[in-house]
Amino acid sequence: MANRRNEVTALLGGPQGAGLETAAQVLSTAFAITGRYVYSYREYYSNIKGRHTYIYVRISSERLPQTAREYPDIIAAIDAESIFHHFTEAREGTIIIYDTSTVNTKINGIVSIEPETRNRISSLLESSGYEKTVKGALQYAEERGAKLIGLDYKLLLKEFAQKTGKSTYRARRYLNTIPMAATGYLLGLTPGELEKGFRRRFRGREQIVADNVKLAEIVAGYMREMGFKPSPLPEPTNPPDKFLVVSGNDIVAIAKTIAGLRLQTYYPITPAADESVTLEAHENLRVDGEDLGSVLVFQTEDEIAAISAAIGAALTGVRSSTTTSGPGFDLMIEALGWAGINEVPVVVTYYQRGGPSTGLPTRGGQEDLFNALFSGHGLFPKIVLASGDHVEAYEDTIRAFNWAEEYQLPVIHLLDKFLANSIVTLPPNLLPPAKISRGLISTGGRGYNRFDKSGGPITPRAFIGSEETVIWYTGDEHNTEGHITEDPENRIIMHDYRMRKLELADEQIPEEERYRLYGNGKDFLLVGWGSVKGAALEALKHLDEEGLHGAYLHVRVMQPLPKKAISKILSDYGVDRAILVEASVRPLLGRLIPMWTGFQFERFILKWTGRPIYPLELAGAVSHIIRDGSRSEVLRYGA
């Protein structure tokens, strides 16, 4: 088994609804408890039960970059379909754990495999001289250096049923524990460490914990009898005293609570809904036994109602937000414009996924940048920021609420499916203390004019319900009191001052807080945003080992764009060494930057399969561009 940089990657594959996510959570938590750092990422179909899903679990004795890694060291399959999807990912030293009862399964007999995928895999096996069966796929991998571990899952479950007194039917509910336990055994997890993982996942359900531990012991016993010895990771060099094991959705929910969120609205949509589920589970706020209030989480009948309710709550003075993905955001745009003309500080947390229309509903992408930037008819100011990892997601969530209230405008916080569905070990000391700023606030009273611009673009904000305060809000153009008017001179004043808010934000928010430059190599410059970050930073390390020394420009705020800093950095590298990287069919950031700087990109690396950008494929693409003179590369890795 390859052990690179004190780390191992395991891929767990199986049908949706078979408990694969639970298995990955147990494994991740068990390793985190031992002081290791964990990064896991899940891919799945838009299907409640049955279709293929898989999870990369990356474990290291040192802190990990937040990206999945190609070519896993262990492939642990619950079913035959997982072997067909992932056998080509095996390399020299890869261990494949599989169910021996599936070896004669033909690919044509698995109806859940899509025809295009089936034909591609069948053609590969046939042209390589192998049967179109699990056995043929395993032989293909074995001849390329993979090591096979076949376990009789039915036999293991039969012994488990006998020792626990369960029926065969009930025993099958624990099927997902077999490949997970085998993986844990190979990586040196002790029974006690694995039990801690089960206890964390099944808190208070002692019988389920005991059953899973029993099956894990049976699996470990068989592995020992077969002569397989554990290969533990080195002891962690600097294990965290405390840590969070959180998904991207979770860390945004935590940050919203810390930022002072009091109303969250949503209509369920992948991959945004899990954020609201986390908030619902922890809606009562208690610190040191003291009740601090609660977060009201409101599931509405649709996305139009969701943003409208969040806007209404913001007008009363509470911090409010709504969360959604592309199709839901499309429905919110009219109300977003209403918030813009009425200067409402509302936050929209926007998780990108593959489009257009329903597109790839459970896959990722970065094709919604322009939708966020240019949404709504007419012009109104909005701030758009994007996060590249869990720490940035935490910071940006708090900044979104602060900026919304400081500049009295909508703020759109862009994330993506890749970040939402990844789980990391996160030491709390990496999360900076929250600084809350609520902007200019007025007590209102008689004679209060909500939109009086005599003092500049930002008017002190009074809240609906303030004593003796009357405020009018309308979707039409209005005067200082909020009454509808189409007077041309008033229009000049009101519309111009609203748009000046972006200029003010550009002046006041330091540019160094809106981007980050990693590395100082001069051979090339990668430019990207969002979840490109993890893959780019790791690709820099791989390329450095190959003698190509570069840097990565990570853009965090898209509006107002840090154009002065970006212009200088790009001019230092020039068009021959600047490479735009994006999970999109066309380079959107590569078109936004020229709008503000005039710099024209000529080299691109793009991916639009719905799967994340992986570091080795990115490094290979950069190498082709630098060494072979390629102008553009399209990335394809991922099942």
Neighbours of 376 (CB within 10 A): 18
168 plus 148 within the same structural domain = yes
Beta bridge partners of 297: 264
In a domain, 235, yes or no: no
Interatomic CA distance for residues 314 and 113, integer angstroms: 47
Neighbours of 157 (CB within 10 A): 22
Domain boundary among 379, 396, 430: 430
Q: How confident is the model at residue 66 (pLDDT cuts 50, 70, 90)?
A: confident
Who wins on pLDDT, 232 or 601? 601
Structure tokens at 205: 């359900």
467 plus 342 within the same structural domain = no
Q: Is the pLDDT of residue 293 over 80?
A: no
Q: Is the pLDDT of residue 289 over 90?
A: no
Interatomic CA distance for residues 357 and 265, integer angstroms: 22
Q: Which amino acid does the sequence have at 399? A: R
Whole-model pTM: value is 0.94
Interatomic CA distance for residues 607 and 636, integer angstroms: 7
pLDDT for 315-367, tens place per residue? 999 999 999 999 999 999 999 999 999 999 999 999 999 999 999 999 999 99
In a domain, 206, yes or no: yes
CA distances for 26 relative to 332, 501, 510, angstroms = 38, 48, 42
Q: What is the 3-state secondary structure (H, E, C) of 246-288?
A: EEHHHHHHHHHHHHCEEEEEECCCCCCHHHHHHHHHCCEEEEC
421 plus 563 within the same structural domain = no
Q: Which of 221-235, 275-289, 395-409 has the lowest mean pLDDT?
A: 275-289
144 plus 115 within the same structural domain = yes
- How buried is 296 (Cβ within 10 angstroms: 0-12 exposed, 13-18 middle, 19+ buried)? middle
Three-state secondary structure call for residue 200: helix
341 plus 278 within the same structural domain = yes
Q: Which of 55-69, 92-106, 447-461 has the lowest mean pLDDT?
A: 55-69
| pLDDT score for 19 | 86
Closest to 386 measured CA to CA, from 262, 252, 483: 252
For the residues 22-32, what does the mean pLDDT come to? 89
| pLDDT score for 465 | 87
Q: Is the pLDDT of residue 15 over 90?
A: yes
134 plus 164 within the same structural domain = yes
In a domain, 613, yes or no: yes
In a domain, 486, yes or no: yes
Residue 193 lies in domain:
7-225
| pLDDT score for 287 | 65
Mean pLDDT in the chain?
Answer: 93
Q: Which residue has the tokens 């701030």?
A: 383
Closest to 119 measured CA to CA, from 129, 132, 128, 130: 132
DSSP string covering 52-106: EEEEEEEEESSPPPSS--SS-SEEEESSHHHHHHHGGG--TT-EEEEEGGGTT-B
Closest to 618 measured CA to CA, from 582, 573, 575, 594: 582
For the residues 460-485, what does the mean pLDDT come to? 93
Domain CATH code at residue 546: 3.40.50.920
Q: Is the pLDDT of residue 288 over 80?
A: no
392 plus 455 within the same structural domain = no
Domain boundary among 509, 529, 561: 509
Neighbours of 169 (CB within 10 A): 8
pLDDT for 147-174, tens place per residue? 999 999 999 999 999 999 989 889 999 9
Beta bridge partners of 360: 354
For the residues 399-425, what does the mean pLDDT come to? 96
In a domain, 482, yes or no: yes
Q: What is the 3-state secondary structure (H, E, C) of 141-193?
A: HHCCCCEEEEECHHHHHHHHHHHHCCCHHHHHHHCCHHHHHHHHHHCCCCHHH
Domain boundary among 470, 486, 509: 509
526 plus 460 within the same structural domain = no
| pLDDT score for 2 | 43
Tell me if 405 sits within 8 A of 377, measured CB to CB: no
pLDDT for 542-571, tens place per residue? 999 999 999 999 999 999 999 999 999 999
Interatomic CA distance for residues 70 and 620, integer angstroms: 12
Helices assigned H by DSSP within 486-636:
488-508, 532-545, 563-573, 589-597, 615-628
363 plus 378 within the same structural domain = yes
319 plus 376 within the same structural domain = yes
In a domain, 319, yes or no: yes
Structure tokens at 89: 């990912």
114 plus 183 within the same structural domain = yes
Q: Per the structure, how many domains does the chain have? A: 4
80 plus 144 within the same structural domain = yes
Three-state secondary structure call for residue 236: coil
For the residues 240-257, what does the mean pLDDT come to? 92
pLDDT for 580-595, tens place per residue? 999 999 999 999 999 9
| pLDDT score for 1 | 46
| pLDDT score for 235 | 85
Q: Is the pLDDT of residue 238 over 90?
A: no
In a domain, 532, yes or no: yes
| pLDDT score for 639 | 85
In a domain, 588, yes or no: yes
| pLDDT score for 292 | 67
Q: How confident is the model at residue 21 (pLDDT cuts 50, 70, 90)?
A: confident
Domain CATH code at residue 264: 3.40.50.970
Question: 166 in the Ramachandran plot: left (φ > 0), alpha (ψ -120 to 50) or beta?
Answer: beta
Domain CATH code at residue 112: 3.40.920.10
For the residues 188-195, what does the mean pLDDT come to? 88
pLDDT for 94-147, tens place per residue? 999 999 999 999 999 999 999 999 999 999 999 999 999 999 999 999 999 999
